[in-house]
Structures are given as C-alpha cells and as structure tokens.
Amino acid sequence: MKRRAHQGATLLISPLVQTVIVILGFLIALSVVAPSFQAADLIKMLGIGSVAIGFAFQNILQNFLAGILLLVNEPSQLGDFISVTGIEGNVEGIQARATVIKTSEGRDVVIPNAVLFTNPVAVAQHP
C-alpha cells in the first residue's frame, strides 16, 4: 500500500518537473534567438505580475498544496471510507487539486483538497 501512495506523489511531482524543464528550455531558446533578451528582465516583469497571479489563483494553489500534503501525510488511502462536512463515501482517487469519493448511492463527489485538509475527517481504514 505504501508503494501506491508514493506513486501518487510521483504522478503529482512529474508534471511540475516537466513544466520547469519546458520553461528553462524556452528561456534558453529565446536568449539564442534574441541575444538582447536577458532572463533578468523577464524575472523583474514576473515579480510584479506574480502578486496579481497569486491572488487570482489563490484557491487553486491552496488546493494543490493541500493535495501535496495529503499525499505526503497519507491520512486516507484508496478504498477508505471517509466522512467530511456531511459527505460520506469511499475514496476513489486522490488528485492534485481534489479527492474523489463514491457515496453509498453510487455518486462520485469531488471534494477540494483544501476542504479535506482544513476540516475534521473521519476515516475508516480499508481492510
């Protein structure tokens, strides 16, 4: 079971590493095509814009970071029965932004990871 959880963390971190590599490649290609371009200028421009972006994506980043912490701490695993904010069901999947549970009626419910991280969660371990 521990191996499955580490695979989830790997699936979460892999796209981040790919994105960083693509951005670095883009910056290198841009500096080759336009020699007058300096990465420091771009970083200065991004510094001002990052505050606005941070406010715009606050909930998304909060859910993403909560997802990382849930995958690292592993309070619940796939198949566990959980109850949070009046919603009960079995954990079907833990994603970067949300956790999917299946209720006793057979409905899939997507719960943002920030809700799971900031509210009390009752967990019944899967046998």
Tokens, residue 12: 């979460």
For 28-46, write each residue's pLDDT tens digit.
887 788 777 776 777 776 6
Please report which confidence band the pLDDT of residue 5 belongs to, taking 50, 70 and 90 as the band edges: very low
User: Does the pLDDT at position 54 exceed 80?
Assistant: no
Does the structural domain 2-124 have CATH classification 2.40.270.10? no
DSSP string, the chain: -HHHHHHHHHHHHHHHHHHHHHHHHHHHHHHHH-TT--HHHHHHHHHHHHHHHHHHTHHHHHHHHHHHHHHHH-SS-TT-EEEETTEEEEEEEE-SSEEEEE-TTS-EEEEEHHHHHHS--EEE---
Q: Which of 76, 65, 64 is nearest to 5 (CA)?
A: 76
Residue-level pLDDT at 3: 47
Residue-level pLDDT at 2: 46
As a whole number of angstroms, the distance between CA 102 and CA 52 comes to: 36
Domain limits, the chain:
2-124
Please report which confidence band the pLDDT of residue 81 belongs to, taking 50, 70 and 90 as the band edges: very high
For 70-80, write each residue's pLDDT tens digit.
877 777 888 88
